Structures are given as structure tokens and as C-alpha cells.
Structure 1
Amino acid sequence: MAIKSIATALAAAVGSAAAVSIAEINGNRFLSPLQNTTVTGLKGLVTAISKDGVYLRSTEPDDDPTTSEGLYVYGKTIVGDVAVGDIVTLDGRVVEYRSSPDHSYLTELDSPKNLAVVSSDNEVTPLVIGVDTLSPPTENFSSLDKGGVFGVPNAASRISVANPKLDPESYGMDFWESLVGELVTIKDAYQVSRPNQYGDVWVRGDWEVTGLNEHGGLTMLDGDANPEAIIIGSPVDGSKNPGDTKMGDYLGDVSGIVSNAFGFYRVLPLEAIAPVKNATADHPAVSFSSQGKCRGLTFANYNARNLDPKSKFLSGVASQIVDKMTTPDIVFLQEIQDNSGEEDDGVVTGNQTLAALSTAIEEASGVVYDFVEVAPADNEDGGAPGGNIRQAYLYRSDVVELWKPKQGSASDANEVLKNGQLKFNPGRIDPENPAWEDSRKPLVAAWKPKKGRGKPFFTVNVHFGSKGGSSTLHGDPRPPVNKGVDNRTKQAEVTGDFIAQILKKRPGAAVVAAGDFNEFTQVEPIKVFLERSGLLDLDDVTDVPPAERYTYLFDMNSQALDHMFVSPAARRGAKYEHLHLNTWQSYNDQISDHDPSVARLNVCGF
């Protein structure tokens, strides 16, 4: 509730306020109406104690769901003087704290003094989320997200500037803000992420969720990035959460304090969490196989995570290609490093990396792969310095061959000639275009099957610019900053226009574009790419269940950064599966941080 009286308002205006409640300090907006005000005689029940302060709950709560009845009192000086269950009074200064300009604020009471314990051994009972409180909203984060959480332009407003009135029934950030400082219980918590380096994990509780996938995670749906999920952060008692857990692990009931730190709302558990039951499901191999002819060739897409000849993951990548992808006819690879890995020594070619992978596959399966790449200019394509990541193709030379091959270089700009032939095969698309600054250039190739009808088909292997540096989904800028979205849109235009040229000069050709687009289908770059290119999303063509359309795990979301798109000629009888091999695993068991996808396509063309 807001400030109740003219006298209190006048006191706040001059920097002090007497006998206010915790709800009045929090107010019904994101920022306290009593910010930078000294309050006296604040009364509350101690619900938890950390090494740096204590958490209070109002002893006389109001009936307004927008005003939190909890408050963090920051101050080590009082920690040893109180116990959980004490009712206390104290003075302090209301402040808004954040550790970064792009984070949301946490309302807290600083510089506590004049502490008095009124009574002890009072009952402390957590509020059960969804039972004693509203349930978290399942779609929208903030009323300020014009165009949705991925709306463009980014950062059109800020929570700290607009300070909107809370609507916890409609918006996820408002919901968690309305409970900040409160002791709560999450019933039947399941992890929807793996832990970060501090042991923090995202969970869903016993409330309505959207996008629930077969591994127990929450998949980002169109316009829905799962605001109902919440982080379990560092335990209040100073213990540590485990670092080897994974998506789908069952944690049981978790009690803790709702807080806001490091860019996210979170629940700080009273003690370290631990799985009650571990997720053990594995993903089966792809359910279809190649027919060896243009009517049914198989294509896989895989970001191999900075693969070099000495990578400890090389045998694992080979094993997944053999055992799970069942040796596809063409493999689109991203993040293939040069022969010396991350040594910044001027080496740019990656033939030894690709040869080592091909050898490992042959040893495991007897299947022989050839490969093609265009080595980038040194340190011009982003990624780890010295690594020179690039896209490349592995292909079964017993099934397909390059059509009229002519090797392009890093600086050669590919063209679609009048007869529909590529000037360079393989070659890169417009490599000098500023859209590709410090980013990977698309690798385009033309192929012919060795059996059956002999029409050429085309592939475009992409790895668009990084999202690194984006603000958090719970952050101050609204809509959140999707770093690089404008540049990825330009990259989508360039790539899409090139594909449109192929289809203009070879109507009815089969074209397959795949790779790490670093973007979601609901966001502007992919919308632009599909509009410019005329391609179709293979997820839509094959009706992949929306909750299983993911290849990457970030924060609370199982999400699709990697995609496969096809021309209308390649949609007939298409099959497509995402193989969830890596996203749900613990860090130590991951081969890559991306999941591969496999399709079987008719590329005979019209």
C-alpha cells in the first residue's frame, strides 16, 4: 500500500518517516515511495538470517497483493543480536540497490540501528507460492515490453524510469517483485537448467507452466520466454548448491527468501538444495535413415563447440554423428577451429581438425567422410582469439559430390551466375560486407547426388553474430537488450537475398539453409531471413511439437538458436528431428553446448 497519511508524506519529503510498515516501504511499484528516507520504529518478524543481514516480515500485513510484506535489512552489526522467530523494532534508511546499471533494483533497509527485540520464539511459516500467493504469470514479463520480451527496438523504456504500478497477475517481473523479501516455499521444484558456476539453478514449481518438454525443461514458445521460472540462488546459511546437477532433476520442496541480485529475481534457499531424484532419460538415435538418392538424403546440423584436432570432445562428437545422427549424408558444422586451436599463431586452415573428426568417424563406423571449408582471414570471424572458428561440411563422398567445384578464398565474394551455377563452390557470401564484421560469413555449396536424378541442390551453412552482452530478461531495460539484433538482421538480409538469387535463376531448386543463427524464429532477424529468402521453417513443415523445438539451454529456457530452413521444392515428405543429447546434461557430460538436428529431404527439385 502507499503512504497512508499527509504527516507521513511530509516526513518522507524531509528524509524521515516514523512508524511506517514494511508494505508502505515497498509500495505497489518497483521502486520504494520512501527511497532515501530514514524510517524509525519499523516492526517485523525475523524470517531468515544471512551473514550480511536479516529478513523481516510484517506483523500486520495488508490485503494488497502488490505490496510485499518482506524486507531485507542489510547490516552485519545486527546479525548476532537476533534469531529467527524474533519480533523486532529498528530504525534504518530505505535504499534501492543494484550491482549494474542494467539490473533491476532491490529495495532494502540499510544502516540499521536502535534494534529492540519485542518477543522471541514466534512461529515462522513460509508462504506457499500458488497457494498462499498468486501463481506466477506464464507469458509476459513486464508491461513495458512493447512488442513482447523480444520486441524491437530494445531498451525503449526502463523499469527504473517508468516505475510502473505492479500487476502480479499479468506480469512475471511484477509477480516476483510483489514478493521480494518474503519467505516462501516452492512445492515440487524441478530444475529447468543446469547450475551456473555458483550453483544457481532455474526451477519450475507446482504451478501452471508453458512449454514443458519431455526432459522436464521449459521450452521458449512464440512470444513466451517462461516468466514463471525462478532461480534458486546461493543458500542463506552460507552453504553451496551442487554443481553437477542437470535439467529435469527433482528437488522436492524448496523454502527460501525472494530476492533480486545479479540481474534476476531469485529465491535464496534456507539451506543447500540437492536432487531428490536425478533425471536419467537419454535421447534415442534419429528414427529415419538415408535412402542414398536425391529422394531421401539426410542432413545434420551441429555446432561442435570450438572443435580442434586435440579437443577432448572430438571422439564424443564423432560418436554422436555415428550413433545418434546415424552418419548423415551431409553434416553442417559450426565452430570448427583451425589446426592449432586457440594458439594465436597465424594458422587459419582447419583441414587437420576436419580430418581428425573424419578419421574418428571412420574408425567408429567404417563410413568415410570428405570435407570442405573456406578458411577465414586470421582473427576476422570472431570466437576465441586465435581459434578462427568457421563453418564446414562433412559429406559422404559415396553419396554426394560437389557440383562443378571451384574453391573460394576468405575474401572471394560468391555469385549466382546466369545459369544458376555458383561462381565459387564452396564459397562465402559477400565476405567484405560490414554486416559480417567480427562474425562468420555464410558458406554456400552446390551438390549433386551420385545416384538417381542428377539435378544440383544447394546448401547454405550459417553462424550469425553472437548475442553476447545482452541484458537479462529480468533487467532494467525494456524490452531487454538483445545484443547484436540489428547486425543479425543485416546478416539475414544479405543471406536471404543470396538465396533468393539462387531460386530466381534456378526455380524449383532444392535449397537447405542450416546453422547457428543465434536467434529465435519469433525475432526480427529470422522473420527477415524467411521473407527475403523464400525458405520455409522445417519445424513448421514437419510439425515438430513446439515444446521439442530447442537446441540450446540458456537461463530458464530450452531454446532454438540452431535452425534448418528449406525451399518449397524440398518440403515434400520431409522428416526432421532435434536430438536432445547435450542440453539436459550436466556440464561434465556435455559433448557440445548445442543439440544436433537431423533431416531427411527430397532434394530432387522440380
Structure 2
Amino acid sequence: MPSTSSARLAALTVAAVCSAASTLVLTPAAHADTVRIHDLQGTTRISPYAGRTVADVPGIVTGVRSRGSAKGFWYQDPVPDGNPATSEGVFVFTGSVPQVAVGDSVTVSGTVSEYVPGGTSSGNQSLTEITGPAVTTVSTGNEVPAPAVVDARSVPSRYTPAGDSAAHGSINGLTLRPSTYALDRYESLEGMNVQVRDVRVITASDPYAELWVTVKPSENRGARGGSVYGSYTAQNTGRLQIQSLGAGADFPVADVGDTLKGATTGPLDFNAYGGYTLVANELGTLGRGGLERETTKRQAPAELAVATYNVENLDPGDTTFEAHAAAIVGNLRSPDVVSLEEIQDNDGPADDGVVAADVTVGRLVDAIVAAGGPRYDWRSIDPVDDQDGGEPGGNIRQVFLFDPRRVSFTDRAGGDATTPVGVTAARGKARLTVSPGRIAPADAAWTNSRKPLVGEFVFRGRTVFVIANHLNSKGGDQGLTSQYQPPTRGSEVQRHAQATLVNSFARSVLAAQKDADVIALGDLNDFEFSRTTTAFEGGGALWSAIKSLPRNERYTYDYQGNQQVLDQILISPSIRRDRAFAYDSVHINAEFHDQISDHDPQVLRFCP
């Protein structure tokens, strides 16, 4: 998630002011002869001085944030206490352009506040600040305290302690153990001047002038230079977000596998959109890794190629139709069937009752033809207005594209937004009651979420059942750097119910025809090792084919330094066991700063 836009910084500023106001306690000021910055930070995540006023706390300015709305500066005590658990730096929230410069020796009086980026409901850790400050400049041009080096040796391989059960799973009150846990190591450096050197980019630059690097070059390294997220219990501890205190236009435009050569130095911050962040005064020099977009293998005449591609809120007002068409034709080699997710209605986010998407799909089909691809036919079902989640007014849905020169679609009338599709058997073969149709659209599992689209295709005389999915998102889940460990993943409850319904439907097809070819695919918004995937696979009805790839190639998405699986293609036993298949996660978007979608498409090839 991005974290430096003016709107977001304004929101953080308001929250910071409210936080300061809510924690203000009228107590006598603590003076400099007894209070230093490391005293304010303490040995846990919560300052022992939270809510109290302090006076004349000394230090040297290490960084100044003068842009945006969350203005302030970091300063650091040049005389550390020798305790590795106590940070020597802290952020001073001014709310206006600070009248200090890096190298100034200052004293600060104000109120110590624990500000929670994103608000307390986010579950995020808090950031210790001094608010309402009175700043006195003692001298200028001083040497800045040497940066603490963050590298593979200094960051532990264990990610975090378990939260205190008596505190609802929070780690806030636990004494920091920076030599044991990575999150404790970063917390012990909160607000301090830190440095990384010669680090590899693992999430590309975004429009908000931020990227992610790893200080651990060998940690879960992906096949193309990222860091693969393969388990809830095996976190990538070397991940660190990089922002800059300079102008956004000067920020590196980097892709995964590039490097920041030399030193990147600045204060260590904590924000709502990624947690621990090095806000650089000094940025390393960008070194290109030369990553190129992938192209999959073209299907053989006897192979059926089925793909899934989330085109990220595509509507007629977008400028990406030609780029998506070029990707489908050039990088995906014109699959026979393409499940598209996030196709919006004909006027996009305008919330005016329009639900049809023929203009949106027509523009994409025409662009594909112009790019040298087939003139795809298509099937979909318009949703009930504003009932399927996504961007308000956009009415996103799944759409089947298919090449009529190679595949036919079996149309059976009666399918609409509210009619559930069923399965019958005729002469030992399964068939849908409606085609296209939607699975159990009235079930509570689909509340404010996309309903699966089911279609019956025929390729070389063989029927193939395809289920296009777009499950509910992870929005609202606690982040990996949450104060609650392990974090709560509340959104997965609905996905488990959704996956169970799709599995039940797939099993009904297999009950009618044991050797039926069934494919469930799409943006599942969950990992290949998740309980959501387990629910999809229940009873052996389906199996996630991305697990056929080596572990360092299993990703479709890159988020906060973690390459992870969100998009999947699951296959029935007849495809998995009886026929050879090939699976490809085609990396054309997620690793690149100029992505046209945040998802990489997936392609399955097999012989029905």
C-alpha cells in the first residue's frame, strides 16, 4: 500500500493531533537532567512517558520532513545508553515546516505521544512522538550520529515474539529482544539514523515514491530477484520499505531485481502502509537488474490453453486497453479461454444504476484484434447494481473470453444475477442447468462480493467446465507488522465459506461425471498454502496447479516486499492425473514499476 500522498499524510496528521490530545496528561514536566531520548523510548514499544510533558530533551537533528502534512523532524541523542533495546532517536511532530536543519543540536519540550498510524482499529504498532513541541537550537553544523547498520547479520531470522495473551495478543508490553526477533530489532531503532548498503529491490517503485528492499540477499529468494512469501511462519525478515526526504521526482524508478548500490541512509520510521520504513536523506545509486517481461509458450493444436487475468478495474475510460491486448496476444499467446476479473460496467465508477459491460468488453476485444489476436467471443452475467463489492459504482464482474475458432460455448438459457446454476446428468455426462450461470448467488458467503461465473465449453469434442472466481479481498486484515502477533486475518472467514461453496459445486459436477474436466480459476485473494485453498481442494475435487511450480516461482503478486500467490488455477483429478499439463505464472506486471495491473496472469495448458 502507498504511504506518502498528501491526502494520506493529512489523515495521519489529524490522527496524530487527536492522539496527542487524547493522551495529554497535565503532569509536571520532566527535565533534561533526568530524561534523555532513550528514556522516552524505553525497553518496550510503549513509552513510559506516554501522555506526560517533558522539557529540554537534547539531541541532534538527523532528518527533516518538510513536505506533505505530517511535517516534523527526527533527532537523536549522540550519547547512547548502551542498552540495545532502547532507541536513541524519536520523531518530533510539528505540523508545519520545521525551523531546524540536519546537524542542529536542539532541545525539545513537549508531550510524549504514542500515535497509531492508521488508527487503533488497524492493529498497527504505535510510533513514539513528541507533539506540541517547543524547540530550542543550541548550535548548528554538528556531526550527525553515525547510522546503525541494518544488514543480514544484525537482523535476526526469527520474525516476532508471540503476543501476550493477557493483552489480547499484543506485543506492545513485551520487553524488546533485538538480538532474537526481527521486529524487535527494527523497533529498537525506531526514530534512529540507520543505513543499508548494496540492497536488492524486491518490490518495484510505486507512484508514491516508495519501494522495498531486502537486507538479506539469500532469504527466500525468488527466481527473478524478489523475496517469495511461502508460509505464515516463515516471514521475510529482511524486508524494509524505502522512502525519501527529497523530492519525489528524484526517487529511483526501479523494478524487482534492481539494486540500490552504496549507502541508503536516514531515520527509521513506522507508517500505516508497510510498517518500518527507512526515510532516506541519502539514496543509493540505482543499478539495473535487467528484468524483462515473460512470454509463455503457445499451446499445441491438441492443447487447450486456459488463463486467468485480473485487469484491475478496467472500464471504458481507461487508457490500458491496448496494453492489455498486447499482453494477451503477445505474452499469453492468445489463450483459448481467458477468465477476466475486475471488468467494470460501461461507465466505470459512476454510480448511476448502469450494470452492463458490453462497451468495456467490446473495447478490449477490438484491441486484441488490432494487436493481431483472435476476435474473442465472450460470456458474462451482469450483477445486481452495487451488490458485488469492488469500487463503488463499478459493478466489477468476471468475464469469459474464448476463441470461437477453437472452442465452442454451450449456451443454456436462464442464467442471471440471482438464479443459481445446478448440475444434472445425461447419459453419464454432467451438464449445467444454465450456462453461463452463477453459483449460489443468494448465499450469505457472497455478500458484497463477486459471485462465481460458470460456463460449459467444448474443445475437440470434450466438455470442460470452467468456474471463474474473484473472492473477497484481504482488506481490513491486520498487517504483518501489527502489534498483534500473530495478526488477525478476519477477511479469510468469508473466503473460506466462498471456497467451500465452489468446492461443493465442483464435487456435484464430479458426482454426475467422475472423469469430468473441471477448472476453478481466478483471483482467489489467498495463498496456495492457505485454508482457503484447502477448502477449494476439499475431498480431492480440485488441486491448485501453481503447486506444480518450484517454490521460488510461486507468485502472482508483489506486496510490501513479499512475492505471493493470489491468483490460482485449480484442476480436477482427470486433468491432474490422467493427462500431462503445463502451468505458467506469466510475470508481466507485479515486478515492474510501469505495471498495467497489479496481478500477473496465469496460464494452464492441457490435452482434454
Instruction: Compute the TM-score of the two structures, normalised by the length of structure 1.
Output: 0.84
Alignment of 1:338 with 2:349, yes or no, is no
Q: Determine if the alignment matches structure 1 residue 552 to structure 2 residue 557.
A: yes
Give the superposition deviation at 1:14: 7.6
Report the Cα distance in structure 1 between the residues aligned to 2:353 and 2:38, rounded to whole angstroms.
62
Residue 143 of structure 1 and its aligned partner are, at CA, apart by 2.4
The residue aligned with 1:268 is 279
- Displacement of 1:19: 2.0
Structure 1, 249-258 or 465-474: larger mean CA deviation? 465-474
Give, as a single letter, the amino acid of the residue that structure 2 aligns with 1:336. I
Secondary structure at the residue paired with 1:124? coil
Considering only aligned residues, what root-mean-square deviation do their CA atoms show, in Å? 3.2
**Alpha-carbon deviation of 1:125?**
2.0
Does 2:93 correspond to 1:61? no
Matching residue's letter, 1:181: G
d(CA) in 2 for partners of 1:404 and 1:79? 67
Alignment: residue pair count: 566
Q: Alignment partner for residue 268 of structure 2, among 252, 258, 266?
A: 258
The code of the aligned residue for 1:535 comes to L
- 1:499-538, CA deviations, whole angstroms, 9 ceiling, x for partnerless residues? 1111222112221111001112233322222225631110
After superposition, residues 47-446 of structure 1 pair within 5 angstroms as 47-51=62-66, 53-74=72-93, 80=99, 84=103, 86=105, 92-99=110-117, 100-101=119-120, 102=122, 103-110=124-131, 115=136, 117=138, 121-122=142-143, 124-130=145-151, 135-138=154-157, 140-144=159-163, 157-160=169-172, 163-205=173-215, 207-223=216-232, 224-235=234-245, 241-242=250-251, 244-252=253-261, 253-262=263-272, 264-271=275-282, 273=283, 276-287=286-297, 289-293=298-302, 296-309=303-316, 311-365=318-372, 367-403=374-410, 405-406=412-413, 408-419=415-426, 420-446=430-456
After TM superposition, give the deviation of residue 114 of structure 1 in Å.
8.5
Contact 1:209 1:228 (8 Å CA) reproduced: no
**Which residue does the alignment assign to 2:17?**
none
Contact between 1:145 and 1:479, CA under 8 Å: does it hold in 2? no
How far, CA to CA, are the matches of 1:533 and 1:431 in structure 2?
24
Letter in 2 for 1:157: G
How far apart are the structure 2 equivalents of 1:471 and 1:385? 23
CA distance in 2, matches of 1:324, 1:80: 53
The 1:504/1:255 distance shift into structure 2, 3 A limit, reads same
CA contact (8 A) 1:446 1:457 kept: yes
Q: 2:598 aligns with which of 582, 587, 593?
A: 593
- After superposition, the Cα gap between the structure-2 partners of 1:371 and 1:113, relative to the gap in structure 1 and judged at 3 Å, is closer
Structure 1 match to 2:472: 465
Alignment partner, residue 43 of structure 2: 28
Name the aligned partner's letter for residue 584 of structure 2. E
Q: Secondary structure at the match of 1:487?
A: helix
Could you tell me how far apart the structure 2 residues matched to 1:371 and 1:547 are? 34
Over 3 Å counting, the alpha-carbon distance change for 1:56 and 1:336 in structure 2 is closer
Q: Return the alpha-carbon distance in structure 2 between the equivalents of residues 361 and 326 of structure 1.
A: 11
Offset, 1:257: 0.7
SS in 1 for 2:198: strand
Is the 1:143–1:171 contact (alpha carbons within 8 Å) kept by the matching residues of 2? no
Separation of aligned partners in 2, 1:481 and 1:356: 41
Deviation of residue 403 (structure 1)? Answer: 4.3
1:91-127: CA deviation from partner (whole Å, max 9, x where unpaired)? 5543322342133211234455595748974463222
Q: 1:178 and 1:417, CA in 2 relative to 1: closer, same or farther beyond 3 A?
A: same
Q: Deviations over 1:401-440 (max 9, x none)?
A: 2346445111110111144221112211011112112211
Deviation of residue 390 (structure 1)?
A: 1.2
1:97 and 1:466 map into 2 onto residues whose CA distance is 27
Paired with 1:461 and 1:512, the residues of 2 have a C-alpha distance of 8
2:568 alignment partner, one of 552, 558, 563: 563
Q: Which runs of 5+ in 2 are unaligned?
A: 1-25
Partner of 2:34: 19
C-alpha distance in structure 2 between counterparts of 1:230 and 1:63, whole Å: 25
Residue 498 of structure 1 corresponds to 505
- State the SS of the aligned residue for 1:219: coil
Q: Match for 1:383: what amino acid?
A: G
Q: Relative to structure 2, which stretch is displaced further, 327-336 or 344-353?
A: 344-353
Amino acid at match of 1:566: I
Moved more, 387-396 or 89-98: 89-98
* More moved, 353-362 vs 113-122: 113-122
Tell me the CA shift for residue 197 of structure 1: 4.3
C-alpha contact (below 8 Å) 1:552/1:561 kept by paired residues: yes
Question: Relative to structure 1, is the Cα distance of residues 60 and 348 closer, same or farther in structure 2, using a 3 angstrom cutoff?
Answer: closer
Alpha-carbon distance in structure 2 between the residues aligned to 1:532 and 1:554: 31
Supply the distance in 1 between the matched residues of 2:332 and 2:100 (Cα, whole angstroms): 62
Distance 2:403 2:469 in 1: 20
Shift in CA distance, 58/501, structure 1 to aligned 2, threshold 3 Å:
same
Asked whether the equivalents of residues 556 and 585 of structure 2 are also in contact (C-alpha less than 8 Å), the reply is yes
- Partners of 1:285 and 1:143 lie apart in 2 by 43
Distance 1:82 1:315 in 2: 48
Quick one: distance in 2 between partners of 1:464 and 1:76? 41
Distance 2:144 2:437 in 1: 71
Go from structure 1 to structure 2 and tell me whether the alpha carbon gap of 1:526 and 1:121 turns closer, same or farther (over 3 Å shift): same
Q: 1:581 to 1:524 in 2, by over 3 A?
A: same
What is the deviation of 1:577?
0.9
**Contact 1:497/1:533, CA 8 A, preserved across alignment:** no
Shift of 1:460: 0.8
Report the CA distance between 1:597 and its aligned residue: 1.1
Q: 1:441 deviation in Å?
A: 0.7
TM superposition shift of 1:600? 1.0
What percent identity do the matched residue pairs reach?
Answer: 31
The DSSP-based 3-state class of the residue aligned with 2:466 is strand
SS in 1 for 2:286: coil
User: Could you tell me which amino acid in structure 1 is paired with residue 162 of structure 2?
Assistant: S
Alignment partner, residue 20 of structure 2: none
The unaligned stretches of length 5 or more in structure 1 are 1-11, 147-154
